[in-house]
Amino acid sequence: MKWWEKTVEYYFIRKYVPEEVILSPLAGKHEAGGDLVTGDQDKWLLIEFKVNKSALKTEESKYKTYELTKVHLMGSDSHHFLVFGSMDTGYFDVKASTYFSKKELPDVEDIFNFGKPQSEFIDYLKEVIKAKKVTETGDGSSSGGFSLVAAVNGKNKVTKCMTLKEFGLEYSLNLKPELSHSEKLKQSRAKSMGFSR
C-alpha cells in the first residue's frame, strides 16, 4: 500500500480530532471574545506529519544546526510530535514520537496527555522557528504545510486545531526563520550584483 504525508495527516485528524472541531473553524481574532472553544486551561501541542518512520530523518535538514537545536530543545519537546504512517500490524495506522528526543509513544492517543500552556508553547515555537533554515523560495516561510497545532482541555480532548500558519496569524506571530549572518551577506551580495532570491 502506498500513502503520502497528507494521507497520514487526514487519517490522524479523522481518527483523533472530534468532528465538531473540524467542522467549526474559528473565523479569527474578531471572534475571540465570543469563543468558548478554548479556555485558559487548555494546553497546546505541535504535531508534524511524515509519510513513514524512515522519513523522520528528513526533518534534520530543516535546521541550520540540527544537532545543537536537538540538544537545546529535546528536554522540552514533550508537546511536539512526529506522527507517521505504519503497516506494522498489517493494516495502515499511525504512530507517534516526540520530535527531538524521538521517544515513541505506545499509543498515538497518548499525545493528548501532553501539552504546554499557551505562553510556554509560543516560547518553544519561537525557538524552533529561529533554529530553522530560511527556505529556498526566499520568503523564509515556515507555514508548516504538514503541521497541526492543537489545543487540548483538562480532559485531554481536542478543542481547537489549525495549521501552524493559521496559529501564527491568529496570535500575530512571525513564523519566518531569521537569516544567519552569512545568509544575510550572501543575500546582500546577490542584490548588489542584480540578483534576487
pLDDT tens digits for range 11-38? 999 999 888 777 554 444 433 333 334 4
Query: Cell numbers of 138, please?
Result: 526566499
Distant-in-sequence, close-in-space partners of 49: CB < 8 Å, separation ≥ 6: 5, 6, 8, 9, 12, 82, 83, 84, 146, 147, 148
The burial of 86, by beta-carbon neighbours within 10 Å (0-12 exposed, 13-18 middle, 19 or more buried), is given as middle
The pLDDT score that the predictor gives to residue 26 is 46
Query: pTM (2 decimals)?
Result: 0.79
Phi-psi region of 28 (alpha: psi -120 to 50; beta: other; left: phi over 0): left
**Percent of the chain's residues with pLDDT above 70:** 74
How many Cβ atoms are within 10 Å of 53's Cβ, its own excluded?
A: 15
